[in-house]
């Protein structure tokens, strides 16, 4: 069997969908469905079981797994409960890493571009312990992910035991179907699409940094299909281990993102720019762009979808349809 933690969430449910589409129904999801309709992310899927996180340690006893894909986390960059975030994102991850090590099970996990902080030191994909120690995440979520990356890197540096395959994925700005339960953490495209379609004004932040135009704050937007493709490639390539950036390698503006949505619908843009709240101005990132050299050198050649093609697919196949779920 394959275990996908966070399998009812955004990226996890897309991984489960891709596994089903590839003929795999021997998939177990570890997640909480809650009361916000997250079950709809799995409504079209075939599964062996859905295991609550609290029951996972007992469920794992005596099990044999082909691989563990660990995507479960508290992923809100606005999270403030340090004890809960650390327990969920670090300590649980360590227990799962130890289990995979002891049972010789491949372990693929989600890290985050939030580990890079404000990007002052760049977004290079040097996964060595000295390089990682220079990073300064700006929020609790990024710090918790960074702590786990450091723990894994320390084991590598010390020659300590690890699973037969391990891979950490520093995910950049992922968007796509099944992100609808994420509330304020949804992509701007998903949050504003109904306004775009209805012709209502779409608000983007003004720039408060000299030399950067309003709406020209940039992110490395990557379509969820590309992330899933990397994960499936890793599952099929057990000789590859390491910590990798997963982004397109090309930063694009929020204005580009929304203009692509208007283009996908064939409608006239209606964008206005508003002041950024003072509470986030000092910590706001104006630029993220992954370096994916290590992933490509490891043999990945699946490529990445352009922003315009990704938005067109997202709008046409999901957002502009009565059923938006994959």
Catalytic residues: 141, 182
3-state secondary structure of 203: strand
- Please state whether beta strands 49-51 and 27-30 pair in parallel, antiparallel, or not at all (unpaired): parallel
Are 109 and 168 a contacting pair, CB within 8 Å?
yes
What sign for the dihedral angle of Cα 319, 305, 270, 189? Answer: positive
* Structure token digits, residue 236: 């099929």
What sign for the dihedral angle of Cα 243, 247, 248, 251? Answer: negative
Q: What is the CA radius of gyration of the chain?
A: 19
Contacts with 144 (C-beta within 8 Å, 6 or more apart), sequence order: 73, 74, 85, 86, 88, 89, 90
């Amino acid at each position: 069997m394959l275990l996908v933690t966070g399998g009812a969430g955004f990226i996890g449910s897309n991984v489960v969908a891709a596994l089903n589409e590839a003929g795999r129904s021997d998939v177990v999801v570890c997640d909480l469905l809650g009361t916000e309709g997250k079950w709809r992310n799995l409504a079209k899927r075939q599964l062996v079981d859905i295991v609550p996180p609290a029951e996972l340690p007992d469920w794992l006893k005596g099990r044999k797994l082909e691989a563990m894909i660990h995507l479960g986390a508290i992923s809100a960059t606005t999270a403030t409960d340090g004890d809960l975030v650390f327990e969920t994102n670090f300590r649980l991850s360590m227990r799962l890493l130890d289990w995979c090590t002891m049972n010789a099970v491949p372990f693929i996990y989600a890290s985050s571009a939030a580990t890079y902080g404000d990007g002052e030191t760049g977004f290079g994909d040097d996964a060595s312990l000295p390089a990682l120690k220079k990073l300064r995440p700006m929020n609790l979520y990024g710090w918790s992910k960074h702590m786990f990356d450091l723990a894994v890197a320390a084991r590598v540096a010390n020659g300590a035991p690890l699973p037969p395959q391990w891979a950490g994925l520093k995910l950049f700005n992922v968007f796509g179907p099944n992100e609808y339960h994420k509330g304020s953490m949804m992509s701007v495209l998903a949050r504003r699409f109904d306004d775009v379609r209805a012709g209502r004004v779409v608000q983007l932040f003004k720039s408060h940094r000299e030399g950067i135009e309003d709406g020209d704050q940039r992110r490395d937007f990557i379509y969820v299909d590309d992330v899933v493709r990397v994960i499936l490639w890793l599952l099929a390539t057990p000789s590859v281990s390491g910590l990798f950036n997963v982004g397109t390698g090309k930063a694009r503006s929020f204005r580009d993102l929304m203009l692509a949505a208007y283009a996908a619908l064939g409608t006239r843009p209606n964008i206005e720019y508003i002041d950024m709240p003072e509470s986030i101005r000092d910590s706001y990132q104006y630029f993220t762009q992954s370096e994916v050299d290590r992933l490509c050198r490891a043999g990945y050649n699946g490529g990445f979808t352009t922003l315009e093609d990704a938005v067109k697919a997202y709008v046409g196949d999901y957002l502009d349809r009565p059923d938006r779920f994959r």
